[in-house]
Amino acid sequence: MLPVVHRPDTWNALSREFDRLLNRYYGDSEIPSALAPYAVDVHEDTDHFHVEAELPGFKQDEVDITLENGVLTIRAERKTTDKSAKGEPLHVERRWTQFQRSFTLPTAVNESAVKAELNGGLLSITMDKREEVKPRKIQVTAGNGHGATLEARTEKGKH
């Protein structure tokens, strides 16, 4: 039986070209989930935006997160393992891989209040909303001085 050795250079170049074409056609975050190499979910609650990305096998120092001009970018890169210390490879599937996704954030994100955690291959990013866009209670008073509390959602510049 002949050993099977993949040529990572050829595969990686093809993979990067495929990603480039998908990004050109679908834009930043519109790649269909069946074609995206790692699943990413984005959720919103009253006070936060949450991003969860499956990054199995990546270590903390292999993940880079940037937030610039309202765009959140997640990058992860895993280098090829050192084969020379383990002898001649006969079959190689664990190879260099790179992941990158970018998301345009709503203006409601407080860019100075972002937390990220990588646990068990799941990257969790929590971004606070700016105070002025969070729901707030507004006291409504009746003519007799007794009031009722209503909840209102306001955004800066909107009434």
CATH classification of the domain holding 44: 2.60.40.790
Residue 146 lies in a domain: no
For residue 34, which of 50, 49, 22 has the smallest C-alpha distance? 22
Q: Total structural domains in the chain?
A: 1
Alpha carbon distance 145, 147 (integer Å): 6
Residue 108 lies in a domain: yes
**What domain range includes position 87?**
8-130
Residue 125 lies in a domain: yes
Residue 156 lies in a domain: no
Which segments of the chain have a pLDDT < 70? 1-37, 81-86, 145-159
Whether the CA torsion 2, 79, 94, 97 is positive or negative: it is: negative
The confidence score (pLDDT) of residue 6 equals 47
Residue 40 lies in a domain: yes
Residue 116 lies in a domain: yes
Contacts with 3 (C-beta within 8 Å, 6 or more apart), sequence order: 88, 89, 90, 91
Residue 81 lies in a domain: yes
The confidence score (pLDDT) of residue 1 equals 47
The confidence score (pLDDT) of residue 15 equals 60
The confidence score (pLDDT) of residue 123 equals 97
Q: How many C-beta atoms surround the C-beta of residue 53 within 10 A? A: 23
| Strand partners for 53 | 40, 123
The angle subtended at Cα 98 by Cα 92 and Cα 2, nearest 5°, is: 15
pTM of the full structure: 0.61
Alpha carbon distance 90, 94 (integer Å): 12
